[in-house]
Copies of this chain bind each other. A is one copy, B any other.
Amino acid sequence: MDKYILKIDCQDQKGLVYKTSKVLFENNLNITKNSEFVDKDNGKFFIRVEFSGECELSNIKSELQNTLPQDATIELMQHRKKNIIIMATKEAHALGDILIRHDSNELNANILAVISNHNILQPLVERFDIPYHFVPSDGLSRRDHEQMVEAQLNKYEIDFIVLAKYMRILTADFVQPHEGKIINIHHSFLPAFIGANPYKQAHERGVKIIGATAHFVNNNLDEGPIISQDVITVDHNYTWQNMQKAGRNVESTVLARSLDLAFDDRIFIYSNKTVIF
């Protein structure tokens, strides 16, 4: 039997679980997992339901729309592999980890293409027979370059864009059409060590942990809603290059975990943060 996912969020009020489950029950559907959360600070209600059974999604959705409050955002979809584009620059670790997971069928996604502003990663990507679009930025304004990237993106039907160490700042014009669909990974020092070489700064500061944060991109590149964070322990034996390598490892791990959550439709975004079931 097919597996479906229903995500609803709206202002909290009494009866929302009841009304939602009533529609599914009356359509003879079987809830296999149900998670609800109310953010009391904002009076915001979130529910995610996994269910199975035979159903016409559009009918279910309109029944839900009829019974739930008007402000409710309702997403209803069949569980399926997501179609993704990866954007990268020069570093191979995050991209490589995704490629290998994709190749061994560990990723709930199809990689449609990789787009990069450099051609360094092309040989790696082509090992996996995945299209590589080299879109150089030399001599172009930020927006002009982005429009060339958009020309490539527009060839595809995309569920998510994964920034696997894409080292350029994206404009609001680029981000807006994909809001909530662009996932980025960066080191976790922000705002501590801003600038060219954060690991060198962290080494000078004598930090004992190195972290990574995966987040959705909004207008503020490294400040969007956080999906997952983790750290690994370092000590004085680490040169800043060793710290950077440790950072690459934790970035790959955190990004992989975050992609699993996103591709399984487990994440809600609101107020610049996430609810993850």
The A165-216 residues at the B interface (CB cut-off 8 A) are 190-192, 204-209, 211, 213
Q: A61: CB under 8 A from chain B?
A: no
Q: Which of B38, B205, B231 contacts A231 (CB 8 A)?
A: B231
A interface residues (Cβ-Cβ under 8 A, vs B): 12, 14-18, 21-22, 24-25, 28-40, 47, 92-93, 96-97, 99-101, 103-104, 106, 124, 127-128, 190-192, 204-209, 211, 213, 225-231, 233, 235-237, 239, 245, 248-249, 253, 256, 271-276
- Which residues of the partner chain B approach A211 to less than 8 Å between Cβ atoms? 209, 231
Q: Which of B101, B190, B248, B272 contacts A106 (CB 8 A)?
A: B248
**Interface contact B38-A205, CB-CB below 8 Å:** no
Number of copies: 4
Bound CA span A100–B124, Å: 9
Closest to A53 in B: B14
Known: A14-B25, A17-B17, A96-B100. 6 other contacts (CB 8 A): A17-B21, A96-B104, A104-B124, A204-B271, A209-B231, A236-B273
Bound CA span A68–B137, Å: 57
Nearest 8 interchain pairs by C-beta: A206-B273, A34-B36, A92-B104, A18-B21, A96-B100, A18-B25, A17-B21, A127-B127
**Interface contact A274-B206, CB-CB below 8 Å:** yes
**Interface contact B237-A37, CB-CB below 8 Å:** yes
**Interface contact A272-B229, CB-CB below 8 Å:** no
Chain B: minimal CB distance from A221 (Å) = 15
Bound CA span A18–B67, Å: 14
Q: Which of B12, B99, B208, B274 contacts A226 (CB 8 A)?
A: B208
Bound CA span A223–B46, Å: 37
- Which residues of the partner chain B approach A40 to less than 8 Å between Cβ atoms? 32, 239
- Which residues of the partner chain B approach A228 to less than 8 Å between Cβ atoms? 208
- Which residues of the partner chain B approach A32 to less than 8 Å between Cβ atoms? 38, 40
Chain B: minimal CB distance from A30 (Å) = 5
Closest to A231 in B: B231
Chain B: minimal CB distance from A38 (Å) = 5
**Interface contact B38-A31, CB-CB below 8 Å:** yes
